[in-house]
Structure 1
Amino acid sequence: MRATKHILILILLVFLVISCKNKQSNTQNPNQQNQNEVTAKDILGNSKYLAISYGGYRKKSRDFQPSIEELKEDMKILHAMNIRILRTYNVRLAHTSNILKAIRELKNEDANFEMYMMVGAWIDCKNAWTDQPLNHHEESENNASEIDRAVALAQEFPDIVKVIAVGNEAMVKWAASYFVQPAVILKWVNHLQALKKKGDLSKDLWITSSDNFASWGGGDPQYHVEDLTKLIEAVDYLSVHTYPMHDTHYNPIFWGVFGDETELSSLKRIDIAMNRAKTYAVSQSDSVASYIKSLGINKPIHIGETGWASFSNGYYGAKGSKATDEYKEAIFYNHIREWTNEANMSCFYFEAFDEPWKDAHNSGGSENHFGLFTVDGKAKYVLWDLVDKGVFEGLTRGGNPITKTYNGNKEALFLEVELPPVKKEITKNH
């Protein structure tokens, strides 16, 4: 009898432990279920969910992968400035999967932490990045495994991964070392859409490709092919890139000081030039919208990339178009956020932090200086006001507190600001 009583007590204790664990798991992160229910449709074009392009690399080679703790540092910084959606570029390296792990850890530590991702799957042509002849009409054998990895991450982290992008600037023909024809992107977009229909991926997961405005039909008619039309029909939205900064060198029709503008103050001349740069970006987005409308297709458009470097020792700096410094970067960033928020568009602004691997052999190359923060965690001019407000208080990058570039000395900053070149004329279209 006594043994039976002990067994009954033991069963009761086991039942209570299981009940407590179930209760704990249900209350550990009350946002978990809600964040599972948040969809790409809810967050894209929603100004409460600011987006940014993110790479956490802090050294001159991607052989040095950021640790989970380093990624968590960055996530906290971005979350503090109301960033809620990140864009990454490939899943071949550990970077993207580690970001997802870092976000999950932060969510488990803090029920109010919220971050989502647009995961990019890198797409190449046959023989890209090899010494073999390139074949832009066939794809790399690596593409299939890249897509498989993206699918696996979307399945493992459905509460975080809300978009998969097939390729990055993979169709634009100036990406001469790896571009593919639209048929390749279409193949993989259709594959992912089929997985959604089968239930292997969430029906609410959005599929896109992230590419230059011209690749989406907004520029040269050579891109206006049947497979592009099919691709536009197949994606859930168009992720469009526009880079006025690059065109201050390659197509400077809008860039400079024109006519009577030479009589204005220095800052006014810069402001007018930067406003034209924003108008140029808007016109490229509008050109894509006009093209898809001409096809009788109605799809959302969001900005997959745009940005403005804070320094260049090449085409865009003091010896070139005089476009790059922290002051102009700040103006462009604010213009773009204002435009896209008002237009109910998301903008995955490029980019969060400087990444020195992008032009490892030239530390002054513009590709190393697109970040809103320096590698060591200094906030560039565009974010000085957030530093003043204490937004980053207690946060660090690499152990460094978040402080201002130039030690917050605006006069020192302006000593490096170049005036746009004086031009004789500007076309009526800009």
Structure 2
Amino acid sequence: MPLTLPTGNAICYSGYRDGQSPGDKIYPSLDEIREDLAILRRHWTLLRLYDCSPHAERVLQVIEEDGLPFQVMLGAYLGAEVSNPGCPWGADFTDAELAASRAENQAEVGRLITLANRYPGIVFSVAVGNEATVDWTDHLVPVPSMIAHVRRVKAAVRQPVTFCENYVPWQDKLRPLVPELDFISVHTYPLWEYKPIGEALAYTQANIASVARCHPGKPIVITEAGWCTHSNGRGMHAAHAVQPLQATYIAELTAWTRAEGLLCFVFEAFDEAWKGSPDPLEPEKHWGLFTADRQPKLAMRPLYPDLVAQA
């Protein structure tokens, strides 16, 4: 049967606020999630969640209990199953650490299956891992292991199954995985590759086209595309990481993907202080369309004038 995915505005949602983080296992409360979803439901109907932690469970619980009009791409976070000397910030693990990580991956995949089956009317697809095969990842999973995880999930859920990754591995390394998937999920970040705003959309289009050429006929979804608003210069030109350019890129990206009928999850809903280095200008912290205190950035102000008035 041909694949049918929902349509509509889509966004990546990770609701960790100041003082919260998945690493510390301090999760947003039900009330905080309700506050976030009240904001997001005004413009988006599709959410992407990254793992099967208590955060994700609470999001699904709130959507069901409150009858909210969201559908969810639910993810499983897969940790390192091998060391990766190619990771710039270090990914050299002991045998014991890797064994523990592999065991946790099995448990996480089990949670993915459980939640997908518990919420069949909310979870419209499942993603088995995120950026776990690209050369620079600190949570490297070999492709044969990824295939095994995907096969386990496909045998146990009714939803379409995918894997979310940077556009580069899809062109070669992930060819053995593609036949196992119902659709390909691609990440594209012109800003991380030093592209100015005048070249950004064309670069995103080229990224997607490069994957499509390698896998003709395979459906493609953009599961991350966005623009940072503060930076210390790590991995990008700091002068490009500003709100007006985010607003321009998001507007251009949305217009193009809508015209093409291409499902695209904007990265991301809210800034997250826990990410990256302690530097407050660490770019990983500043990809939200809203600040960490839930104020709309420039790209969102026309849609949320009431929230701007409260600033």
Is the structural similarity TM-score above 0.5?
Answer: yes
Match of 1:281 among 197, 204, 207: 204
Instruction: Tell me what 2:77 maps to.
Output: 122
Aligned-partner Cα distance in 2 for 1:194–1:362? 44
Shift of 1:130: 7.8
Sort the Cα spacing of 1:171 and 1:404 in 2 relative to 1 into closer, same or farther, 3 A: farther
Shift of 1:135: 9.8
The aligned length equals: 300
Aligned-partner Cα distance in 1 for 2:162–2:141? 16
Amino acid corresponding to residue 297 of structure 2 in structure 1: K
Shift of 1:341: 1.0
Sort the Cα spacing of 1:40 and 1:70 in 2 relative to 1 into closer, same or farther, 3 A: farther
Match of 2:182 among 213, 233, 236: 236
Aligned-partner Cα distance in 2 for 1:386–1:181? 43
CA-based RMSD of the aligned residues comes to: 2.5
Instruction: Tell me what 2:58 maps to.
Output: 98
Q: Which whole-Å deviations, capped at 9, do the CAs of 1:326-356 have from their partners, x for residues lacking one? A: 0000001111111111111111111000111
Instruction: Tell me what 2:161 maps to.
Output: 207
Instruction: Tell me what 1:186 maps to.
Output: 147
Amino acid corresponding to residue 275 of structure 1 in structure 2: G
Output aligned runs, 1:292-371, within 5 Å.
Answer: 292-293=215-216, 298-315=217-234, 320-359=237-276, 361-371=278-288
Flag the structure with higher helix content.
1
Match of 1:403 among 296, 303, 308: 308
Amino acid corresponding to residue 30 of structure 2 in structure 1: I
Shift of 1:125: 2.8
Matched, 1:379 2:302: no
Instruction: Tell me what 1:216 maps to.
Output: 170
Aligned-partner Cα distance in 2 for 1:381–1:211? 28
Matched, 1:291 2:251: no
Sort the Cα spacing of 1:149 and 1:307 in 2 relative to 1 into closer, same or farther, 3 A: same
Q: Which whole-Å deviations, capped at 9, do the CAs of 1:266-325 have from their partners, x for residues lacking one? A: xxxxxxx423111001101100001113xxxx21101011111111122367xx452100
Shift of 1:61: 3.7
Matched, 1:168 2:122: no
Sort the Cα spacing of 1:159 and 1:40 in 2 relative to 1 into closer, same or farther, 3 A: farther
SS at match of 1:120: strand
Matched, 1:69 2:24: no
Q: Unaligned 5+ residue runs, structure 2? A: 84-90
Q: Is the 8 A contact 1:57 1:65 kept in 2?
A: yes
SS at match of 2:299: helix
Aligned-partner Cα distance in 1 for 2:48–2:190? 20
Shift of 1:60: 4.0
Identity %: 31
Runs of 4+ deviating beyond 4 Å = 127-131, 133-136
Instruction: Tell me what 1:251 maps to.
Output: none
Aligned-partner Cα distance in 2 for 1:387–1:151? 36
SS at match of 1:126: coil
Sort the Cα spacing of 1:126 and 1:189 in 2 relative to 1 into closer, same or farther, 3 A: closer
TM-score by length of 1: 0.65
Q: Which moved more, 1:185-194 or 1:68-77?
A: 185-194
Matched, 1:41 2:41: no
Aligned-partner Cα distance in 1 for 2:82–2:149? 19
Aligned-partner Cα distance in 2 for 1:131–1:154? 31
Sort the Cα spacing of 1:149 and 1:379 in 2 relative to 1 into closer, same or farther, 3 A: same
TM-score by length of 2: 0.89
Instruction: Tell me what 2:88 maps to.
Output: none
Matched, 1:51 2:10: yes
SS at match of 1:141: helix
Larger radius of gyration: 1
Q: Which whole-Å deviations, capped at 9, do the CAs of 1:214-271 have from their partners, x for residues lacking one? A: 1111xxx5x2xxxx333211111000001101001xxxxxx4xxxxxxxxxxxxxxxx
Q: Is the 8 A contact 1:381 1:404 kept in 2?
A: no
Shift of 1:404: 6.3
Matched, 1:153 2:115: yes
